[in-house]
Amino acid sequence: MNSSHRVRRKMGEALGDFGMIDPQDRILVAVSGGKDSLSLLDLLRAHAERAPVSYVLVPVHVDLGSCQSKAGVLRTYFQDQGYEYRIVETQLGQDLCGADDLPESCCFHCARIRRKLIFDTARELGCVKVAFGHHLDDMIETCLLNMFFAGNISTMLPRQPLFGGRLVLIRPLTYCREQWLEAYARDRTLPVRAAPCEEGGPRSRRRRIKELLAQLERENPGLKDSLFRSLMNVRTDYLPQLPGAGCGHVSVSGVEHVE
């Protein structure tokens, strides 16, 4: 099975399993300019051509305002593809990454601010759904980050209502492996640009988790698939709980990664 067919099939399964798209949805697609978000936009557009429901895609890019800005490349791409789009201009790259009073990485702060800007923009554009390009590897890494550094068992949700259901986050690439998306973006010649901050540098917790998982899977092929299945197979009866706490202390919840 070639990479394009596999990615399309697995995304379609996730869309159906979690009921991510409804008729006449306006979906804001958060596009960073990396392989994952650009692949997601391309995949959702192809899916719309054969889907039983109609929906509109609105790509939105938050420009970090750094010297490695992707805004120009993405603006050209969105225009060439005929999208209604929005470029949100910021100075995050200068304000955060140059600050002296932040912890080991500015990634958490940058992500939090970008998410708020995305949510505000979705409201302005009348989009009830926001699609992120997080994939299977991201979900595994997030779970381990939360276990190691936040003291809880949780990860990203494939479909997550927010603000009383007024906004819904969807992650259509939930069943897709990162390496498949790398091949897909290359095959489709998408205008992928390198990440400007390299995920927080060599001390990044997420980068260390990613490297650890890569090493373990080299030694144990299929390890990541097994870890992902475990997220939906939590046996709370075999986990320690304080008396009277109930099973609510152990869950796959919507708590985001600690970095």
Query: Distance between CA 47 and CA 68 in Å, rounded?
Result: 31
Query: Distance between CA 10 and CA 254 in Å, rounded?
Result: 22
For tokens 């960073």, what's the residue? 32
Q: Which domains does the chain have, with CATH numbers?
A: 3-239 (3.40.50.620)
Do residues 131 and 37 make contact, with C-beta atoms less than 8 angstroms apart?
A: no
pLDDT at residue number 241: 86
pLDDT at residue number 109: 72
Do residues 206 and 257 make contact, with C-beta atoms less than 8 angstroms apart?
A: yes
User: What beta strand segments (E) does 2-140 contain?
Assistant: 25-30, 55-63, 86-89, 129-131
- Tens place of pLDDT for every residue, the chain, 259 residues? 677 899 999 999 999 999 999 999 999 999 999 999 999 999 999 999 999 999 999 999 999 887 578 899 999 999 999 999 999 998 776 666 655 555 555 667 778 889 999 999 999 999 999 999 999 999 999 999 999 999 999 999 999 999 999 999 999 999 999 999 999 999 999 999 766 555 455 567 888 999 999 999 999 999 999 999 999 999 999 999 888 765 554 444 444 444 3
- For residue 92, the one-letter residue type is L
pLDDT at residue number 202: 54
pLDDT at residue number 115: 94
